[in-house]
Amino acid sequence: MEIALFQPDIAGNVGTILRTAACFGVPAHIIEPCGFPFGNAALKRAGMDYAVRANVQRHAEWGAFRQWSQTGERRTVLLTTAGATPLPNFTFDPDDILLFGSEGSGVPHHVHETVSARVAIPMQSGFRSLNVAVAAGIALAEALRQTKGYPA
């Protein structure tokens, strides 16, 4: 299981997600450009020392990430409010990459069209979305639960 963040806007959210990834031993990918100067100083506040211990790979843009992700038989699973499958009904594979869009604009249409699956976290009607770091934690926990991928 891996996490990928598409052009994240908020350093604090990235720090929180990297901290989560580090705690669960899950690699993380940053698809640039970011909406902030990416570096340890920008992430330290939310991620504390955990963020710098995360296994992070940076990709210059979507095409570079897409090329990397197509090696092997991994699926890219987009978590989106426009998802077709509710999270409780989706079956994860151990090699899935969980993709999360930027806080301000999500992901563009061409990204939606190239992912393997689109999944939504069910919410009460009248709410637009969850914080991306919260959504990442919920989706990662469910994916690891299904695949029995929690650290020993």
Instruction: Tell me the pLDDT tens digit for each residue of 20-30.
Output: 999 999 999 99
For 108, the token pair is 């563009």
Paired with 4 in beta bridges are: 29, 99
The rounded Cα 131 to chain-centroid distance in angstroms is 12
Global pTM reads 0.93
- Residue 38 in this model has a pLDDT that exceeds 70: yes
Predicted local confidence at residue 43, as pLDDT: 61
What's the whole-number mean pLDDT along residues 53-64? 93
With tokens 């999270």, the residue in question is 87
Specify the amino acid at residue 116.
S
> CA 128, CA 64: separation in Å to the nearest integer?
30
Q: pLDDT > 90: what percent of the chain?
A: 74
Identify the structural domains of the chain with CATH numbers, from first to last: 2-147 (3.40.1280.10)
Give whole-number Cα distances, 102 to 9, 70, 92, 128, 136, in Å.
6, 22, 22, 14, 12
- pLDDT tens per residue across span 95-109: 999 999 999 899 999
> Which long-range contacts (C-beta less than 8 Å, at least 24 apart) are formed by 60-63?
60/32, 61/31, 61/32, 61/33, 62/6, 62/31, 62/110, 62/111
Distance CA 126, CA 23 (A): 33
